[in-house]
Amino acid sequence: MTTAPGQALLTITRRPETVFAHGHGSWLTDEGGKRYLDLVQGWAVNCLGHSPELIQRALAEQSARLVNPSPAYFNRPMLDLAERLVALSCFDRVFLASSGAEANEGAIKLARRWGSRQRGGAHEVVTFDHGFHGRTLAMMSASGKPGWDQLYPPMPGGFAKARLNDIASVERALTPATVAVMLELVQGEAGVNPADRGFMRELRALTTERGLLLIADEVQTGIGRCGHAFAYELYDIEPDIMTLAKGLGGGVPLAALLCREALNCFEPGDQGGTFCGNPLMAAVGLAVVNEVCRPDFLADVRQRGGRLSLGLQAIVRDHGLVGERGTGLLRALVLPHDRASDVVAAAHALAPVGLLVNAPRPNLLRFMPALNIDDAALDLGLDLLRQALRETGA
């Protein structure tokens, strides 16, 4: 018997004992040779599946050319990725970073900088119950996970909470010191809760009327996940600031903060980071964006999202579950009990082929497959899910 893996790692979460050895497309293989169909994909990160050739090529070519000349100098992939993101979006300026939390921190700094210049020092940001913006101290305060704003006291302040799809709750949270409202257009970690179209229109009107910034955290929803390059397109609104991460790097650590020209207000030295804009990650991001944000690719994502939705609806009927919801290939299945983690474990343990799904809430499973998953893998995933539900008596 070998000892359980992870003895030298700081304990941060419970992991299955599986050690993954390699991945290809929608499939992972562990060190014992067992295969798993992966509908988690690193939490919506691997938008083109595991180790796609396009990323292998970008890494190999760029690593042979230039890895990191320092963020104090321009490099070609950094310039090209920024220009590509500007061309695709309603924004004019891009700051590249390495994680979603880091991009969101940058968004808050930018809003506060703008508030100190243009709004007499306004600095408070309204965020939402159950929202998720990352794990730095400030982003834990910004997130709406119960208890998070008190986990590591003293916590940074300045984040008032409102309720998603309740415009009156936003109005109540506003004070003369408010500078911005920040939200996920579809709350991911909260269990795939989309903002309503009407609510987003009211929120855009309210923020514009009061001279407040609207910040869209598209770390999970951006880069094709919802069937469009950016989820804000689904709402016919334009935010003032947007953050991207997860899918942007297709698996590598890459994030971005985007804003309009009027917000291009950092002084030299106000913002930065050793790895920000490094050409190795930027080259990958450029390859990913060029692949995923093509109209035909996005149309396929919408079609696959519809197929997954129909498959999940059939499971809801056959297994007497509560329901299915989501946008594009970010979807959730609501269970009639709080044993979602048992279903995750049963799916993982299925043999000969396991299934990887994720339970962000006790009564809910979340699906974030590769955006290019083929129909056969999607249908197999639904079959395996039925088996796992049967085994857990759901």
Ligand X SMILES: *Cc1c(COP(=O)(O)O)cnc(C)c1O
Closest to ligand X by CB, 132 or 232: 132
* 372 binds ligand X per the rule CB under 6 A: no
At 366, is the secondary structure helix, strand, or coil?
strand
Single out the residue of 101, 110, 213, 330 in contact with ligand X (rule: CB under 6 A): 101
To the nearest whole angstrom, how small is the minimum distance from the Cβ of residue 219 to ligand X? 4
Stretch that binds ligand X, among 84-92, 183-191, 227-235, 321-329 (CB under 6 A): 183-191
Question: Which residue in 148, 273, 151, 152 sits closest to 161, CA to CA?
Answer: 148
CB of 246 vs ligand X, minimal distance in Å: 6
**Least distance in angstroms from the C-beta of 137 to ligand X:** 13
Nearer to ligand X, 46 or 392 (CB): 46
Q: Which is nearer to ligand X, 216 or 346 (CB)?
A: 216
| Window contacting ligand X (CB under 6 A); options: 10-18, 131-139, 173-181, 298-306 | 131-139
Residue in 50, 112, 123, 133 binding ligand X, rule: CB under 6 A: 133
Q: Which element (helix H / strand E) includes 317?
A: helix 295-319
Asked whether position 134 contacts ligand X by CB under 6 A, the answer is yes
If binding is defined by CB under 6 A, does position 245 make contact with ligand X? yes
Task: Using the minimum distance from each CB to ligand X, give the nearer residue, 215 or 382.
Answer: 215
Q: Which is nearer to ligand X, 101 or 321 (CB)?
A: 101
- Return d(Cα 106, Cα 136) in angstroms, integer: 12
* 48/254 with CB nearer ligand X: 254
Q: What share of the chain is helix, strand, coil (3-state, %, to 5)?
A: 40, 20, 40
Whole-angstrom distance, CA of residue 128 vs CA of residue 216 = 12
Figure out which of the listed residues 188, 222, 224, 369 binds ligand X, where binding follows CB under 6 A.
Answer: 188
Cα 41 to Cα 172: distance, rounded to the nearest angstrom: 38
CB of 17 to ligand X, least distance (A): 24
Q: Which of 26, 46, 99, 127 binds ligand X (CB under 6 A)?
A: 99
Q: What is the torsional sign of CA 228, 229, 233, 235?
A: positive
Q: State the DSSP H helix or E strand holding residue 364, giving kind and residue range, or none if neither.
A: strand 364-367
Residues 198-237 interacting with ligand X (rule: CB under 6 A): 217, 219-220
Between 285 and 311, CB nearer to ligand X: 285
Nearest to 247 by CA among 210, 179, 301: 301
Burial 7-38 (b: 16+ CB within 10 A, else e): eeeeeeeeeeebeeeebebbbbebeeebebbb
- Tell me whether residue 107 or residue 122 sits nearer to ligand X (CB atom): 107
The DSSP bridge pattern shows strands 323-327 and 255-259 to be: unpaired
The letter for the amino acid at 162 is A
Peptide bond preceding 352 in cis form (omega within 30 of 0): yes
With contacts defined by CB under 6 A, name the span among 88-96, 116-124, 126-134, 345-353 that binds ligand X: 126-134
What does the H/E/C string look like for 84-126?
HHHHHCCCCEEEEECCHHHHHHHHHHHHHHHHHHHCCCCCEEE
Q: Which stretch binds ligand X (CB under 6 A): 93-101, 122-130, 145-153, 338-346?
A: 93-101
The residue range among 181-189, 191-199, 200-208, 327-335 that interacts with ligand X, by the rule CB under 6 A, is 181-189
Number of residues that bind ligand X (CB under 6 A): 15
- Give Cα 136 to chain centroid, integer Å: 16
Tell me which residues touch ligand X (CB under 6 A).
99-101, 104, 132-134, 184, 188-189, 217, 219-220, 245-246
